Each structure stands twice: as structure tokens, then as C-alpha cells.
Structure 1
Amino acid sequence: MLHAATTASQKRQALRSALVQPTEGTALLRFIGAFTPLSTSLVAGKGFEGVYVSGAVVSAELGLPDIGLTTLTEVAARAAQVARTTDLPVLVDADTGFGEPMNVARTVQVLEDAGIAGLHLEDQVNPKRCGHLDGKQVVPREVAAQRIAAAVRARRDPDLLIMARSDARAVEGLDAAIERLKAYVDAGADAVFPEAMLTLADYERVVSAVDVPVLANLTEFGKAPLFTHAQLADVGVRIALHPVSLLRTAMGAVERALDALATTGTLEGEVSSMLTRARLYELIDYAGYNDFDADVFTFEVPDGKKGLQA
């Protein structure tokens, strides 16, 4: 009720432990993009291991393209809202860190205060663009490594996961991307995110080249195939990310409902596919709030001077 029962520190430690010592059935951690804080209850209820705050989703919800227009304040606010509602670790897309090394340091501490378990920083130029669009540009490897080093130095909780993302696969080729990721690990990155890998063999090469966990981004309508979790686990990937899937699913349903309403004048035919009122109340724990209220207000208010004298 109100806030997650698990502290930010506990969530960070849990994520670290799961990555270092996977238990049976959790060799691959599945992080699902939460397009709203309400959706975290569904993600946790279905047994997934983590929640993600996508930069593309934050910008889309603001009616903006994913081209570096969102601010640290906007991302941190959404990250805090999401982290508040879930006991799962929350990974956040911190884009390029919203600037250069000093900006990156501030980004890390602001997001750390938001209660997240980890964040990733990328090597695109600032402002960046969606990782699956053409025309991306990356900064020199040394500059990107400085961003990672600044992030590592700025964190106050050593359990905060700093992940390095590289978009160089589409710009400079796989070999260059791997060399970049190795440099980012040398700079202190705890995990890596090779963007827009085209084959399972690409992932296998990355896994073999670094000694930290590797994330696979599974975004629909992108350049990369939608590999299964089993396929990714087989080549050693440790985190499977579904960044925009819930937003796309929800907005698709919204558009279909609007089409039906415009055509028929009623949503009667759509009701069966809607989240019920009872399920909504369950997800936001109406019963828990009601019980809390009952416990708080089951006292008798003293009246008049007698109450003041007491």
C-alpha cells in the first residue's frame, strides 16, 4: 500500500544477486517496460523479474518522438513513480546521461534518489535518437568511456547497477561495437547493452568478449529479430528487455475501442476485453487502503473542554 515494501537498497542487492548467482529458472531475467505505474502490479503478478522505464515510452507518453527531447526531470519523475509501486528492481533508460560527464554524474544521483536499481547510458551523440532508426551517430569510444567512469564515480550506493549501451553495431560494425563494450567494462560498467544485434551469433560474440552480464533488447518493429527467451539464454544472455511492448499493446487496444465507438456509437462489444472494475481495484489494493482507514479512524474524538483538558 502507498509504497513498495522493499527498499531501493534491497532491490539493488536482489538484482545484483540474481545476476551473479542465478537460481534455477532465473538464468534469464525478464524486464518489462512499464508504460504506467499501474502496470507494475501486472508485471509482478505474472512472475517477471524486473520493470523497465523506457526513454521511448516516456517521450511517447509526452507526445514526443524519441530524439532526445525529454529531460532528466521528466525521466526521474516517471522512474520514481514506477519504483514506488513495485518490489521488483527497476532499470531506467538514462539515454546519454543528459549531457557530458558532470551531467552524467548528476543524472546518476538524481535517478538513484528516485529509488531505481539500475540505469543504462549509451554512446550516441547528444541529443540521441531511437536505437532502431537510421542515421544514428556515436561519440568517440574514449568519450563514451568517460561517461561510464563518471557514472560509476558518482553513485553513492555501490549496488546501483551501471549498464553501458552501445549503438555502434549499426554505425561502425559488430567488431567495433564489441571493442567499445570492452572499453566500457574497463571503465567500470557492471553490465552491457549491445543495441540492434541482428543474429544470435552477434549476442554470442558479445557474451564471449565481456565478463559482465549482457542484455538483449526485444523491441517490436525494430531492426533486430524477436528472439525467444530460451534462444537468448542458450547463448548466454542474462537480461531480456521488452521496452515498449505494453504501451504498444495498450494503445492498439485504445485505437480499436475508439474505432468501435465511432462506428457503432457504443462500447458494448468491447466490454468483454476491458480490465474489470474489480480487477482494477485489486491491482491498486483498494482493500488494503480501506483496512488502513478503518484501523486509523476507529477512535472516538473527544469533544469540548473535556478533550482539551485531557
Structure 2
Amino acid sequence: MSALRALLGSGRLLVVPGAANALTARVIEDCGFESVYVTGAGLANSHLAVPDIGLLTFSELLAHVAAIREAVSVPLIVDADTGFGNPINVRRTVRDLERAGAGAIQIEDQSFPKRCGHFAGKSVVPTGEMIAKIRAAVDARRDDGTLIVARTDARAVAGIEEACARANAYRAAGADVVFVEAPRSEAEVEQVAAKVRGPQVINLVHGGVTPMLPERRLRELGFAIALHANLPLLAGLKGIQDALHTLRAGTAPGESQLASWAERQRLVRRPEFEVLEARYATSSPSEEGTS
């Protein structure tokens, strides 16, 4: 059984912050979280400084997943947007992300170019087209422990009833976890919890359209995963802005605004690399050539 399957099987609510780079993923793991969400929106924002409107390429995502996988040991849930094409493309997307270290791969039913789930102006593909992608994803995985997460953005296009119906159809097609994006009230969140079968994701976006319900309530409703996909990014942006505004005003930021030098080196594992440097150190120049 995969680590993620075991976590979902525990019946607990899995709270998963999002990471847009390996260092953020390391901080998430270091703070005690059991999984990391590799956020497509966060990657678009931080890697390209563009909005989440489908500009991130698959090769860029893949490289970041591999780097994050190397940095942490906890399972990765990877946002693969629309799967980067048709069902044949989805097969490659799943194979390559699985090989790079994804423990779960999320695919959504938006038409391309996709956009942030909390933006206006979205459109979705026909249900049958998304079902074909889910089947391709399920067939493509080499490890049954790799989870396929199917997200629907139909709430914004056709209402909450259609979104719930699609989620159930995607579950029937083989998705391990389903995800109704952007319900707009607590009543809609409750409706999703009641009507959609199987393990479910809820995405809590600061500034988005879904109410920020407390963990206790989400546990009561039976959600399996609570994503905070961009919380670390928003916190980091605020911290950077505050420190730089202080500097621009003519004063160096105080220690309370900054991580310490020692903390930075700990998080990037400097002590471990010092051990490796000592282990593989070559002879000094004066010793070279002597017997």
C-alpha cells in the first residue's frame, strides 16, 4: 500500500500545504505535514511570474517535481492541470510524473487553456472526454499505489448539481479521489460532501470563492484532503514585501523579520553536505604524488 493510500485509509483529514519549489516543500515537511501539494498555480506565479492561465509547460512541471521529490520524503500530490493534452498525452503525463516521484496525480476537466479554479471565465470539456482521460491515467500508472485525483470545475459553468454528478462519474471511471473545485458557500460544501462518493479534496484558497471552514467542520463532513495550495506562497510574498519595504525605507530588516543564517543552512542540509565533503575530500596538494 502506498503512503498516500495509507494516510487516506486512516480516516483522518489530511491537511496539505502547497509548494512551488523544493525549499518550500522542505519547510512544509520540516513543520510536520505528512504530504506536499505541488501547485501548478504556485509554479506559474513563482517560476514564470505569470497568472495561472495554462502557461506552465509539462517539462517545467516535471523538472520541479523531480527536484521536490529529491528534497523531501513525504508523498507528493501533483497538480497536472488538464493532463497536457488528450488521453494519449495523459498517459505520458502520468508515466513521467510517476517516474519523477508523484504519489498522486491530479487532472481537471477544464478546456485548454485552463485557468485558476477561482478565476471567472472557465469552461469544461464534455464529461465523456474527461472520463477517457481518467481511464488513460488509470491504465498508464505502473504502480497501483499511485493515486489518480479527478477534479471538476463544472460548478462555475453548470452549477453545483452538475459538478457533483461529474465527480461521481469520474469516481466510477476509476479515479481514486475526486475534487469539486470552488463551491461558493458552506451549504454547497455540505452538498458536495453529502452527494459525492469516495475520498474527496476541498481546496481552501485565501481570497477565493470557497469559505474557509475550520478543520473540525471539514472532518465532520468527511473530507479526506484539505488543500492549502498557495498559503506558503502568499505568506512568503508578504514576508518579502515587508522586509524589502523596510530596507527601501533606509533600515535593515530586524531579526524578527528574517530567518536566521543557521536556520537557512539547516533547511538546505548544509551539515549533511559538510559530512559528504569530508568523506570525499581529496589529498592535500603536498600529499599528491607521494607513495
TM-score in same-fold range (> 0.5): yes
Deviation of 1:299 after TM superposition, in Å, equals 7.4
Give the corresponding residue for 2:85: 99
Distance 1:147 1:270 in 2: 51
- Residue aligned with 2:216, SS: helix
1:18 pairs, out of 7, 21, 30, with 7
5+ long unaligned stretches in structure 1: 1-11
Deviation of 1:227 after TM superposition, in Å, equals 1.2
Distance 1:225 1:209 in 2: 19
Deviation of 1:249 after TM superposition, in Å, equals 1.0
Query: 1:1-310, aligned counterparts within 5 Å?
Result: 13-22=2-11, 27-61=12-46, 62-264=48-250, 266-267=251-252, 269-297=253-281, 304=289, 306=291
8 Å Cα contact 2:104/2:147 also seen in 1: yes
TM-score scaled to structure 2, two decimals?
Answer: 0.93
How many corresponding residue pairs? 289
**RMSD of aligned residue pairs (Cα, Å):** 1.9
- Residue aligned with 2:22, SS: coil
Deviation of 1:251 after TM superposition, in Å, equals 1.1
8 Å Cα contact 2:243/2:257 also seen in 1: no
Q: Measured at CA, do residues 160 and 58 of structure 1 come closer, stay the same or move farther in structure 2, by a change above 3 Å?
A: same
- Residue aligned with 1:113, SS: helix
8 Å Cα contact 1:218/1:226 also seen in 2: yes
8 Å Cα contact 2:203/2:227 also seen in 1: yes
Distance 2:179 2:112 in 1: 18
- Residue aligned with 1:157, SS: coil
Give the corresponding residue for 1:4: none
TM-score scaled to structure 1, two decimals?
Answer: 0.88
Distance 2:70 2:218 in 1: 30
8 Å Cα contact 1:90/1:118 also seen in 2: yes
8 Å Cα contact 2:40/2:52 also seen in 1: yes
Distance 1:117 1:107 in 2: 13
Distance 2:140 2:35 in 1: 24
Fraction of identical pairs, as percent: 40
Single out whichever of 241-250 and 201-210 deviates more from structure 2.
201-210
8 Å Cα contact 2:239/2:257 also seen in 1: no
5+ long unaligned stretches in structure 2: none
- Residue aligned with 1:43, SS: helix
Distance 2:165 2:197 in 1: 13
Distance 1:18 1:211 in 2: 18
- Residue aligned with 1:38, SS: helix
Amino acid at match of 1:47: G
Amino acid at match of 1:145: I
Distance 2:26 2:126 in 1: 40
Deviation of 1:77 after TM superposition, in Å, equals 0.8
Distance 1:224 1:142 in 2: 27
**1:220-279, Cα deviation, whole Å (9 max, x unpaired):** 111111111111111000101011111111111112222222222x32x43321010000
- Residue aligned with 2:2, SS: helix
Distance 1:299 1:201 in 2: 70
8 Å Cα contact 1:218/1:243 also seen in 2: yes
Amino acid at match of 2:5: R
8 Å Cα contact 1:200/1:232 also seen in 2: no
Deviation of 1:305 after TM superposition, in Å, equals 8.0
Deviation of 1:201 after TM superposition, in Å, equals 3.6
Deviation of 1:40 after TM superposition, in Å, equals 2.1
Deviation of 1:206 after TM superposition, in Å, equals 2.8
